[in-house]
Amino acid sequence: MIQEIFSSGQLTDLQKKITNKIIQQERLASEEGIELFNFNIGILGILASYLNNKKNQDKVFFNKNFHIEPTNICVYDCVFCSYHRKINQEGSWEYSINDILEKAESYKNSDITEVHIVGGVHPNRDLHYYGEMIRKIKEILPNIHVKAFTAVELDFMIKKAHLNLEEGLLKLKEYGLDSIPGGGAEIFEPEIRKQVCHEKSTAEQWLTIHETAHKIGLPSNATILYGHLENNRHRIEHLDKLRDLQDRTNGFNTFIPLKFKKANNPLSYVGEVNILEDLKMFAISRIYLDNFDHIKAYWPMLGKDVSQISLSFGVDDIDGTIDDSTKIYSMAGAKDQKPTMTTKELIELIKTAGKKPVERDTVYNTIREY
């Protein structure tokens, strides 16, 4: 199949050179990464699948997880966000710690392995508030992996507690934080970032927070928000910064391209990119991020059908069971308004795509192969 690409007549001389580098697993330069967006989508799928198979064979990973979103009250007002509210605004919520512990109790006798905690940047809650929340969750679920707080949340809560970055992260680790999700990266290009999220932490702050976390033993995920005001060069520049940081720390577990969804936000006028653009973004991420082992399709964002198709475009992870515990994408118009999949449904989705389902923990240790 790989060799047939060269005889297909669909490659320019430059694209043939790039394809050779991909097959030899040589690192692409940024200009070569940008050129990938001009490739035929089918060829990108073949190349991304080839590289994915080298790393993960035919395995597709998932985990058993649930989300806690303590509040959607947020000091920031990002124009792409359909989720945030101000205090007392209609549609806002702020759960008490007791509310959250009650939710944790409901999973006490289950085989859930991860809780994912993210929310708005609440003006009155600092590191110690959230640290105590983690500590109490772990009293109820002592074996749970707590993956919590975007870099933007961390930046605010640590400063509010009057600690420096490393002190704050070490304190949260002491409370029981196990890893960090990848949210808040959005797009690193400064001018575009100003237009879509001008108030929140800068790209440099996001990268510094993750680098510091990796250095003290907290792994993390990485993301991009694509399909809004950015162009292909901005996307590759974003991937470049992530690849450079991964070279230094090897602390990222996975990369998750996140699609801009247009419902209920001031940026809705730009519309949404189509499915071919989604698949292209996944394939190019797999090809360009040579030092990332895993590329995740977040199924509550894409929908189950597109997530399944993405498994033929370099994706090897589709997240987890979720259990209808996140509103971030449903409020932005995602197809699955009540996102939940049973283990049986996840396994069936993966097997139907011709892949081998593997239940993992948060850091990709295998729990069970199906």
Structural contact between residues 140 and 105, judged by C-beta atoms closer than 8 angstroms: yes
Decide: residue 78, CB within 10 A, 0-12 exposed, 13-18 middle, 19+ buried. Answer: buried
User: Radius of gyration (Cα) for the chain, nearest Å?
Assistant: 20
pLDDT over 70 at 335, yes or no: no
Rounded CA separation 183/160 (Å): 20
Structural contact between residues 264 and 292, judged by C-beta atoms closer than 8 angstroms: no
pLDDT over 90 at 18, yes or no: yes
Rounded CA separation 267/4 (Å): 42
User: Is 267 a member of any domain?
Assistant: yes
Backbone φ, ψ for residue 337 (5° rounding): -75, -20
User: Is 6 a member of any domain?
Assistant: no
Rounded CA separation 15/238 (Å): 22
What band does 332 get if pLDDT is binned at 50, 70 and 90?
very low
Residue 3: the pLDDT is 74
Mean predicted confidence (pLDDT) in 205-232: 98
pLDDT over 60 at 336, yes or no: no
The number of folded domains in the chain is 1
What band does 338 get if pLDDT is binned at 50, 70 and 90?
low
User: Is 37 a member of any domain?
Assistant: no
Single-letter code of the amino acid located at 136: K
- List CB contacts of 59: < 8 A, sequence separation 6 or more: 316, 355, 356, 358, 369
Entry field: residues in the chain: 370
User: Is 260 a member of any domain?
Assistant: yes
Task: DSSP for 93-134, please give it.
Answer: -B--HHHHHHHHHTTTTS---EEEE-----TT--HHHHHHHH
Structural contact between residues 209 and 151, judged by C-beta atoms closer than 8 angstroms: yes
Single-letter code of the amino acid located at 347: I
Most confident of 47-61, 93-107, 187-201: 47-61
- List CB contacts of 323: < 8 A, sequence separation 6 or more: 65, 66, 67, 340
Q: What is the pLDDT of residues 296-331, one digit of tens each?
A: 999 888 889 999 999 999 999 998 887 644 444 444
DSSP 73: B
Rounded CA separation 76/69 (Å): 16
Rounded CA separation 310/45 (Å): 9
User: Is 161 a member of any domain?
Assistant: yes
The secondary structure of 211-246, three-state, reads HHHHHCCCCEEEEEEECCCCCHHHHHHHHHHHHHHH
DSSP 145: E
| Whole-prediction pTM | 0.93
Tally of CB atoms within 10 A around 352: 10
User: Is 220 a member of any domain?
Assistant: yes
- List CB contacts of 18: < 8 A, sequence separation 6 or more: 28, 32, 35, 36
Task: Scan for tokens 């996102």, then name that residue.
Answer: 339
CATH code for the domain of 291: 3.20.20.70
Rounded CA separation 166/172 (Å): 10
Domain of 235, in residue numbers: 52-369
H or E element at residue 67? strand 65-68
Most confident of 188-197, 320-329, 340-349: 188-197
The tokens for 159 are 């400063």
Q: What is the pLDDT of residues 130-161, one digit of tens each?
A: 999 999 999 999 999 999 999 999 999 999 99
Give me the percent of the chain exceeding a pLDDT of 70.
95
The tokens for 167 are 């002190």
DSSP 186: -
Give me the percent of the chain exceeding a pLDDT of 90.
76
User: Is 7 a member of any domain?
Assistant: no
User: Is 364 a member of any domain?
Assistant: yes
